[in-house]
Every structure is written in structure tokens, then in C-alpha cells.
Amino acid sequence: MPFTLVPDVAVGASFTEAMWDTYIKGNLNDGLARPVGHTQLGSAAATVTFSSLPGTMGGLLGIWSARSDLVALTTTVMLRFNGDSGTTYDYQRAYAQASLNATEGLTQTSANIGHLPGTTGVANAWSSGFVFVPSYASGSVHKTTYALNAQKWGTTTAMLQVNAYQAIWESTAAITSFQFLCGGGANFLTGSRFTLFGLGLV
Amino acid sequence: MPFTTVPDKATGAVFTEANWDTDIAANLNTGLVVPTARVMASGLSQVDFSSIPGGYAAILLTGYARSTQAVTAAAMNMRLNGDTGATYDRCYMGADGSVEDNAEAFAITAGPFASVPGASSPADSYGGGWMLMPAYDQTDRHKSWTCMSYWKRTNVAAGQTCRFEAGFWRNLAAVTSVSPFIPAGTFAAESVFNLYVLTTV
């Protein structure tokens, strides 16, 4: 439901059910930018899934702060929609790590949207980032994602990254579930946080 | 503090105090992407957003500014909780004209935010960007954030910069203040900074 401009009311006007449903309920639930899901892991987990997403908003914005239990310096944060594990994802990554670099993935089973430290990364380093998905509720176009990520696993040269990612999910289905996956078959550590926002329409 | 889904009302239903407190007041005050502070920074060299409440998913800082220093551009870094120690790291990539650019720095005394045009840049040119920091209030981790910024130094080729940047603070403390600053001069008239909190459910 798009945002509906709230009208002025005259002195003595009644507050009606229609006013509640349209201006309060409709605008707050679907017309503004609001969280639609939030998880802080109480135990390590390989995935975090937000399902039953409303199909009435203009875009999705996922934000996260996480670290992995993989015995490695770093691994990836991946994204999967509607539980689709087919080879339907392509992605491109540009990043700085003491120099400029790029990687890509074609016909992948999930989309790369971030990197994070593993257990051999420097203590207390947690990565963070966001991913934006416009027109997620469309039932007629492939979906595109845009992501940015701050990644650190050490305190000497070439142990920091800023990562920018774009990806496409080659499906015209409306996105109804949004899943973060930890790469390398590993888990996100306890305390990792994920929040998903819906962005309103007019 | 988290967002509460607003229920439907049947015809003739009574509008209650609880409806107001939960569905309207709480959601509007703390349940959405809420602006918490705005500073018009003219005459200041540093802006302090202090007493940032905990309990939200993230903070988002935006800045659109210009410096009075007689340079074409000035770095606009930021400090957290007033920490001036060598506790920050940064890493960026960007472009100046057709030239790709990147750098990293470790154990520095301020974190990245953006840069702004100076007094020697074209008139009325303002710049800046935004910074997003999830988990800003968590005390079990060092903080990290991403920034995106743009500024213009001249009207000729290679006079513009866009940049993606990552910042890191080697501290477990909850972030309760954010202070963007410029090294010399002051922010010009119309320079403005906004801080938002992004809530949870």
C-alpha cells in the first residue's frame, strides 16, 4: 500500500475507522521506511532468513554486523531469495585491499554481498555492511542488488577491504524471503546481527 | 522501542490510549527510521552528536558541507566518543576524473566520513556523503562502518572525486557520540548534518 498523504481535519471532525486504516495503519505498516525483520543470533548459525515479507513496499534494505566461525582469515556473506539454490545468481565485486581489485561470479547458487573475518582474523574485528534491493515485489523483472561492506581481519597492510557488489537474481518471482548465508559452509557467530527494512512507496 | 505492526480497526472500534501510545507515539518516535538530530554547522569546525541512545539497529550520519579554508577540498573525518587515540583504521576506493584511486591507513587518530569543497573550489559547491554503522551500541566487538561521498574541487577534468570507504574503530565501547570535523577553517553557511537511527522489530 503506497504512502497516503495525511489530510487536515476540521475542528470537531470525527476520527473514523477509515482514517485509522489508511493514515495510521496503512502508512505506518507499508508507506514509510520501517523494519520488517531483525535477528541477533543467540547461537551460531549458517543462515538467517526473513520470510513472509510484505509485498507492498518499494524496496528492501538489509544491514548486518557479523563474524564467522570458519577457521580462516575471511569468508563471504551470501544472499539467497525465496530459498532458490539454483544457479540463478550473477554478481560483480569491486574492492580495495591495498590495491584495486575485482571479482565476478556467474550462474552461482547465491549472490555475494559481503565479506567477514573468520576465527583467525584479528580479535574483536566484526564486519558490517548493507544491501539494497529495489522493486523486490515485482513479479515481472529480474532482481538486482547493490551492497557495500567494511571488512577487516588484521592490522597490517592488505588486511582491510572496502567492497562494493552488484548482483542479479535471474528470476521474475516476487521476493518473499531473504536469506543471509555464511560462506565456506561456516556459521555466523553468536551475536551477529541482521536487520531488514522495507522502504515505503508513494 | 522496536516497530509494532499496526492492527486493523473494525467499524465502530474505540480509539484507545494504548493505540496512541503503542501504534502511533512509539512507532513514530522510535519505531521507524527516525531523525534524531540536525545541526546547521556554519561557523563550527566540529559537529558533536552526543547522547546517542542505544537499542537501535544502526546509526546513519549524513553531511552536506563546505569549508572556509582556502583549499580546493578538505578531509572531513570523524571521531567516536571523543576518542583521539590512534584507534582508527580506514580503507577506500574511488575515482578522480578517469583515475582510479585507493589507499589504506592503520592506527590513525580519526575515522573516515567524507571530504568537502574548500573556499578555493567553485562557488556554491558543497559536498559530503553518508555513513552507516550497524551494531553501534554492541560492546562485544570493534565497530565498523561504510561511507559513500562525493565532492568537487574544480570545474575541469579530474576535479571531482567519488569514494567508497570503510572505517574501523578499535574499541568495544558502545558509540554514544559521533563528531565529524574539518582540520582548519570552519563549515560554511548552509552546511548541514543529520543523524538518524534505524530501529529493529
Q: Which residues of A touch B140 (CB under 8 A)?
A: 124, 191
- What sign does the dihedral B113-B116-B118-B121 (CA atoms) show? positive
Res. B64 pLDDT band, cuts 50 70 90? very high
Q: What is the pLDDT of residue A195?
A: 98
Rounded CA-CA distance A113/A100 in Å is 18
Rounded CA-CA distance A33/A201 in Å is 9
Q: Which of A17, A38, A122, A162 to mutate to test the interface with B (most CBs of B within 10 A)?
A: A162
Contact between A15 and A24 under an 8 Å Cβ cutoff? The reply is no
Tell whether the model's pLDDT for residue B171 goes beyond 70: yes
Tell whether the model's pLDDT for residue B1 goes beyond 70: no
Total residues found in chain B within this entry: 201
Q: What is the pLDDT of residues B81-139, one digit of tens each?
A: 999 999 999 999 999 988 899 999 999 999 999 999 999 999 999 999 999 999 999 99
Q: What is the pLDDT of residue B2?
A: 85
Cross-chain Cβ contact B164/A125 below 8 Å: no
Q: Residue A92 belongs to what H/E stretch?
A: strand A89-96
ipTM: 0.94
| Facing B33 at nearest CB: one of A33, A150, A155 | A33
Non-local CB neighbours of B29 within 8 Å, separated by 6+ positions: none
Chain B, window 110-149: residues with a beta carbon less than 8 angstroms from a chain A beta carbon = 132-135, 138, 140-142, 144-146, 148
Residue bearing cell 566518543 = B81
And the C-alpha cell for B22?
503503542
Tell whether the model's pLDDT for residue B190 goes beyond 70: yes
In Å, how far from its chain's centre is CA B24? 27
Contact between A144 and A97 under an 8 Å Cβ cutoff? The reply is no
DSSP-derived secondary structure for chain B: ----PPPP--TT----HHIIIIIIIIIIIIISEEEEEEEE-TT-SB--B-S--SSSSEEEEEEEE-B-SSSSEEEEEEEETT--SS-EEEEEEEEETTEEEEEEEEEESSEEEEEEE-TTSPTT--EEEEEEEETTT-SSS-EEEEEEEEEES-SSTT-EEEEEEEEEE---SPP--EEEE-SSS-BPTT-EEEEEEE---
| Facing A124 at nearest CB: one of B7, B142, B201 | B142
Rounded CA-CA distance A101/B99 in Å is 14
pLDDT per residue rounded down to tens, chain A (202 residues)? 689 999 998 999 888 999 999 999 999 998 999 999 999 999 999 999 999 999 999 999 999 999 999 999 999 999 999 999 999 999 999 999 999 999 999 999 999 999 999 999 999 999 999 999 999 999 999 999 999 999 999 999 999 999 999 999 999 999 999 999 999 999 999 999 999 999 988 7
Q: Which residues of A42-78 are buried (b: 16+ CB within 10 A; e: fewer)?
A: eebbeebebeebeeebbbbbbbbbbbbbbebebbbbb
Q: Between B9 and B170, name the one with better pLDDT.
A: B170
Tell whether the model's pLDDT for residue B201 goes beyond 90: no
| Facing B57 at nearest CB: one of A38, A94, A191 | A38
- The radius of gyration of chain B from alpha carbons, rounded to an integer in Å, stands at 20
Query: What Cα–Cα distance (Å) separates residue B148 from each residue in A43, A155, B118, B132?
Result: 33, 23, 19, 9
- Share of residues in chain B with pLDDT > 70 (%): 100
Chain A, window 104-123: residues with a beta carbon less than 8 angstroms from a chain B beta carbon = none
Rounded CA-CA distance A39/A64 in Å is 10
Q: What is the DSSP letter of A124?
A: T
